[in-house]
Amino acid sequence: MAFELNKRAYDILTSLAEYRVLTCRHLLTLHRGNERALRKKLRKLEKDSLVVRNAKIFSQKQGRPEEMLSLTDEGVQLLKTEKILDSDIPANRVKTTGVHSLQHQLLTNDFRIQLVLIERTIPDLSVSFLSPVTPFIPRSQKDKPMVYESFPIDEANQQWIGYTPDGVFSISHRGLNKTLLFFLEVDMATESLVSSNRPKASIAGKITNYKLAYKAGRYKRYEKFWNCKLHGFRLLFLTSNSSRMIKLCQLVQQMSPSDFIHVTDQEAMVSEGVWAKIWYKGGRLNQPQVSIFGSKIPQFPLKPNELS
């Protein structure tokens, strides 16, 4: 079947390949324009069997159900035919069938969409996000994503650390010629905070891994990728609810020094924005919250619904 699609249609399909699952609200932020026109375009793509509507979810902020959209096999094949996707990329690396947790993916995407708003609102800032599930960045020979981290902690005993962040991103300020590096961990409260049986699989194990990576200067490898100078990084924990956030903050405090770790929850991010003063630095609940920009917070802070 031949398809006559315009650039906007291909842009939508490409976004679905990158994010794997999006709502109409997400797509409207990414591609702007008129909501009625976007919905008409989505209905056409669905009629052509390129896009499928998945089960509805309840929006954290609006409190009403939202439909999730993703690519079909036909949509994936069309992107390969048009050489937007490499022909050897498996369909389950692009469709929702390969997503371990849809809620986790959607919360990660909510975070990413807000980064788009940051860049769009403040001309001096540029944001670049590296996803472990993107089909547009080549993987290693061992089929690991680019953001996968692996390094030895005891070469004599052949002990290595290996872990994959939920995202790695940079925020650069053109005027200041300064770049900040961030690692993102989206926590759905499904992992143990501390585990004696599987310590590496716990949140405490993740924090230990990042501490070792910080000490070893592993973040320096991103200097070449973004052509910048880095002096460290910030680890962001985005939790699914406030009670989990409190417990995680307490853990972070116990694992001091941990000032490079910032913690917040989904409700604060959705209502105030990732850029706002919603983050507990070092997990210290008894101190004022900070912005991920530190003292360099831009002079807005508008809320997400005022920007989109």
Count of other CB atoms within 10 angstroms of residue 269: 24
Mean pLDDT on 37-58: 87
Q: Is the domain of 28 the same as that of 108?
A: no
CA distances from 80 to 17, 61, 140, 191, 300 (A): 11, 36, 20, 36, 41
Q: Lowest-pLDDT range, 190-194, 251-255, 278-282, 296-300? A: 296-300
Whether residue 2 lies inside any domain: the answer is: no
Give residue 86's domain range.
7-99
How does the average pLDDT of the chain come out, rounded? 90
Do 195 and 272 lie in one domain? The reply is yes
Residues 125, 33 within the same domain = no
201 and 133 inside one domain: yes
Stretch 201-205: mean pLDDT, rounded? 92
Model confidence band, residue 157 (pLDDT cutoffs 50, 70, 90): low
Residue 298 pLDDT level (bands cut at 50, 70, 90): low
Q: pLDDT band for position 33 (50/70/90)?
A: confident
Write down the pLDDT at residue 109: 96
Q: Do both 43 and 184 map to the same domain?
A: no
In the predicted model, what is the mean pLDDT of residues 292-302?
A: 69
Q: Of 99, 134, 164, which residue sits at a domain end? A: 99
Q: How confident is the model at residue 158 (pLDDT cuts 50, 70, 90)?
A: low
Q: For the purposes of burial, counting CB atoms within 10 Å of the CB of 103, is it exposed (0-12), middle (13-18) or buried (19 or more)?
A: middle
